Amino acid sequence: MKADQVPPVTLAELRSELVHRHRQLVDYRLVVWTAGNASVRVPDSELFLIKASGVDYDALTPSSMVLCHLDGSLAEESELSPSSDTAAHAYVYRHMPEVGGVVHTHSNYACAFAAVGEPIPCVLTGIADEFGGEIPVGPFARIGDDAIGQGIVATLSGHRSRAVLMANHGVFTIGEDAKAAVKAAVLCEDSARSVLLARGLGAPRVIAQDDVDALYERYQNVYGQR
Amino acid sequence: MKADQVPPVTLAELRSELVHRHRQLVDYRLVVWTAGNASVRVPDSELFLIKASGVDYDALTPSSMVLCHLDGSLAEESELSPSSDTAAHAYVYRHMPEVGGVVHTHSNYACAFAAVGEPIPCVLTGIADEFGGEIPVGPFARIGDDAIGQGIVATLSGHRSRAVLMANHGVFTIGEDAKAAVKAAVLCEDSARSVLLARGLGAPRVIAQDDVDALYERYQNVYGQR
Amino acid sequence: MKADQVPPVTLAELRSELVHRHRQLVDYRLVVWTAGNASVRVPDSELFLIKASGVDYDALTPSSMVLCHLDGSLAEESELSPSSDTAAHAYVYRHMPEVGGVVHTHSNYACAFAAVGEPIPCVLTGIADEFGGEIPVGPFARIGDDAIGQGIVATLSGHRSRAVLMANHGVFTIGEDAKAAVKAAVLCEDSARSVLLARGLGAPRVIAQDDVDALYERYQNVYGQR
Amino acid sequence: MKADQVPPVTLAELRSELVHRHRQLVDYRLVVWTAGNASVRVPDSELFLIKASGVDYDALTPSSMVLCHLDGSLAEESELSPSSDTAAHAYVYRHMPEVGGVVHTHSNYACAFAAVGEPIPCVLTGIADEFGGEIPVGPFARIGDDAIGQGIVATLSGHRSRAVLMANHGVFTIGEDAKAAVKAAVLCEDSARSVLLARGLGAPRVIAQDDVDALYERYQNVYGQR
């Protein structure tokens, strides 16, 4: 499928929305300088949009979002190279068809857990609500080929969590769309912060599994507007 | 009592003020995404207003505040569902007639104490001023029925503190109105922050009870404008 | 001396400047809600201006600054009560004639040191520059009479430091004017933050006394514009 | 070379850009009050621009940037004294001809490492990307002569890192221009924050040297736009 076969209005809207999602990453202080990116799958297509590599967040415009095929190759003529993490995003879209948005950050508290290779334990109801249990650690992998994507998919497939802490690296989150992936990134960092602070006080109490199950079930099905 | 029996100007003012109070929760960084809410009792009525569930703080308008009976049921036709914490707020209003405002947050430093199940000790005069002693821990309770409300009321009834750390969950605060409940939420997190940081240095010194009593007495009766 | 004997333009300017100084305390996140205050001596008079008690920082105007005699009594008809810390500020102005501005905060990292009753050690050149050594701890004292003022004056008289950590309470800083006192409050919290974080890594190295002396001497006499 | 021999448009642009770079230091919270500065080499000249000493960041204008010779002496008539760190910046420009920008901060997390005299270990891919290994510690040196400059140059010459933690002092970063030096200052503090937080959880895992080398190589040569 080529870019010009996508309904222009939809693609333009997706580009604008993706600029807004990067703005949220900045406002929630999940990213600094140019270190982090979001992408969104173009519905009913084999395409996704992703941030251009190394462009300042303040300078992002809809045209800074690069249209790519699901193999990571450019799907339009572009003066801009896509994010250096494009291969990882593309791998996720290829192997997790339910995923419509992917976010990558190096948010500080989550990175602290990634640096020591520990999952974020489920010690707060908010973690049970959003992640359905602990937030898992994925393998260490060099950037540049499919290794990071494979690690994300292997860790999150069949797992309730929409966030993975890639060891010694950072956070990847997934969602049904870009908004949901940003939400998971925000709540992953917020959870990491509360839990790390709690560790400074003592040993946080892990919530019982049946409580975790009930909280997750309710939050996924009752919370919010219908 | 029905919504249309409330003086419209007053209800409209309460709705606007409640939007403002949510803005304060955001500005003080006590809430992220949609995770936190405030409510206010409608004076001289059996009603209260509360945030709609899952609505972004930036998108809140007076009409995002849902009017409820004190049993938590809707008191007006509304396209919006009220907060998933409505039952807890309602329980507090039913059982603590002196309470005019309730706030719920997952602010990070307070949640750290909640995660380990420790009260915030009264080691700073500001804690004695506002809370009259330590900030207590309430029981763990699943969301969805009266359990959380019962835990709040059981912990705060007869206690000077206007804030309770619900175990493995977050903070609930009360006040004579929404402003006072927001103030308690702000000062609870500020207290938690200073005390947790102090714990990184050593063992903070607890203030003697007679000093706590004198500070609380003065702050409640002398501080501020008459 | 009565208020109407002060050149009006000067007093008006001082009021406006003092509003601005409170804005800086908010912007540097040294104060929350209404918990903190600044004052300024009216030059060539026996008067000082101080924030009204319990007024929101966002609502401050020049007329929210209350003119007081050096004994802490009102020097003008005012609908507003002065800060509950007025007695402490007044005591400092009476006993330290070189002081033209006083600031009081409960900034979090400095309060952590105050809660454990430890001075902030001089382990960074910035601390030597501004404070000329460690930032000392003052005694615990109840609010309401001269005890806090006495503790501040006893601790800072003859000491290089312009900041004192009042035990289990918070920070008081002094300066030749309100700007200098705000600066000391900003740098006290910044110093406390770096040192407390360092303590999480290990034992910070104290700077040798002759280096401290040289740094302090230079910063006080060479830094900045002539 | 005299100031009037520099193409005016270029010099004016450099002055404006340097104001903007100081704004970034404030926005990223790397500096408080007046404690930090940036400079930029004037291309094809023996001159550089640096912040005036002790001027508030909010008050900076292009004319607050003082033009200096590479020996640190004034290269133009100026009512303003240059930064008290001018000698250190000048020393770097004289001895590291590849450097076009220098930044100095006392950012808190990096200062924590400086206070204990520990390098920031390379435990996150982002550190490998930008710094090519650990961020090293430089010697303690008094301000005022070439000692600080010598320490910076001795530590960074032949090292991949663009940042040095000067013991008991703060951070100096270098870059091909002012933007690159600011970027290094932002990422140094961000790295320090994640690593210090990780230390609160346990012992972060150091990345294997061949992985560090591969990450650094790729980031320096593939990342961003061509």
Average of per-residue pLDDT across B111-115: 98
Q: Is residue D114 part of a domain?
A: yes
CB-based contact B197 C199, cutoff 8 Å: no
- Check pLDDT > 50 for residue D2: no
- Whole-number average pLDDT of chain C: 94
Q: Which chain B residue has the Cα nearest residue A222?
A: B84
Helix (H, G, I), strand (E, B) or coil at C51: strand
pLDDT of residue C204: 98
CB-based contact D167 C205, cutoff 8 Å: yes
The closest CB to that of D186, out of A33, A54, A108, belongs to A33
Are the CB atoms for D155 and D119 separated by under 8 Å? no
Q: Is residue D226 part of a domain?
A: no
The shortest C-alpha distance from D80 to chain A (Å) reads: 32
pLDDT of residue B1: 40
- Our count of domains for chain B comes to 1
The residue that leads in pLDDT, B29 or C225, is: B29
Chain centroid to Cα D110, Å, comes to 13
pLDDT of residue D226: 61
Residue B205 carries which side chain, given as an amino acid letter? R
CB-based contact B197 C196, cutoff 8 Å: yes
Average of per-residue pLDDT across C194-210: 97
pTM of the model: 0.95
Q: Is residue D84 part of a domain?
A: yes
Phi, psi of C172 (to 5 degrees): -120, 135
Q: Is residue A44 part of a domain?
A: yes
CB-based contact B80 A224, cutoff 8 Å: no
Residues of B with CB under 8 A from a CB of C: 28, 123-126, 183, 186-187, 190, 193-195, 197-198, 200-205, 207, 211, 214-215, 218-219, 222-226
Burial code (b: 16+ CB inside 10 Å, e: under 16) for A144-171 equals: eebbbbbbbbebbeebbbbbbbbbbbbb
pLDDT tens track for C131-140: 999 999 999 9
To the nearest 10°, the Cα dihedral for C16, C18, C23, C26? Answer: -160
- Check pLDDT > 90 for residue B2: no
- Which chains have at least 3 CB atom pairs separated by less than 8 Å from chain A? B, D
Percent with pLDDT over 90 in chain C: 89
Q: Which of D51, D106, D149 is nearest to C130 (CA)?
A: D106
pLDDT of residue C116: 98
Q: Give dist(CA B5, CA B17) in Å, integer.
A: 20
pLDDT tens track for D24-66: 999 999 999 999 999 999 999 999 999 999 999 999 999 999 9
Q: Which of B21, B62, B15, B24 is nearest to B42 (CA)?
A: B15
- Check pLDDT > 80 for residue B124: yes
pLDDT of residue C226: 61
- Check pLDDT > 90 for residue B99: yes
Burial code (b: 16+ CB inside 10 Å, e: under 16) for D202-223 equals: eebbebeeebbeebbebbeeeb
Strand order through the sheet with A47-51: A65-69, A47-51, A36-42, A101-105, A170-175, A163-166, A137-138
The closest CB to that of C112, out of B201, B219, B224, belongs to B201
Band of the pLDDT at B7, cuts 50, 70, 90?
Answer: very low
Percent with pLDDT over 70 in chain A: 96
- Check pLDDT > 90 for residue D140: yes
The interface pTM score, or ipTM, of the predicted complex is 0.94
CB-based contact C143 B125, cutoff 8 Å: yes
- Check pLDDT > 60 for residue D1: no
pLDDT tens track for B77-90: 989 999 999 999 99
* Structural domain containing residue C154: 3-221
pLDDT of residue B222: 75
Q: Chain D residues with CB inside 8 Å of A167's CB?
A: 205
Q: Is residue B116 part of a domain?
A: yes
pLDDT tens track for C111-121: 999 999 999 99
Q: Is residue B99 part of a domain?
A: yes
- Check pLDDT > 70 for residue D4: no
Band of the pLDDT at C8, cuts 50, 70, 90?
Answer: very low
Least confident interval from C152-156, C221-225, D23-27: C221-225
Helix (H, G, I), strand (E, B) or coil at A86: helix
Q: Which of C165, C163, C169 is nearest to C185 (CA)?
A: C163
pLDDT tens track for B46-97: 999 999 999 999 999 999 999 999 999 999 998 999 999 999 999 999 999 9
pLDDT tens track for C76-97: 998 999 999 999 999 999 999 9
- Check pLDDT > 70 for residue D151: yes
Average of per-residue pLDDT across D76-87: 94
Band of the pLDDT at C223, cuts 50, 70, 90?
Answer: confident
The token duo for B11 is 């209800």
The shortest C-alpha distance from A166 to chain D (Å) reads: 10
Q: Is residue A226 part of a domain?
A: no
The closest CB to that of C224, out of D54, D118, D167, belongs to D54
The token duo for B180 is 């006072």
The closest CB to that of B186, out of C32, C115, C200, belongs to C32
pLDDT of residue B10: 85
pLDDT of residue B152: 98
CATH number at residue B200: 3.40.225.10
What residues have CB less than 8 Å from B19, skipping those under 6 apart? B60, B61, B62, B64, B65
pLDDT of residue A154: 98
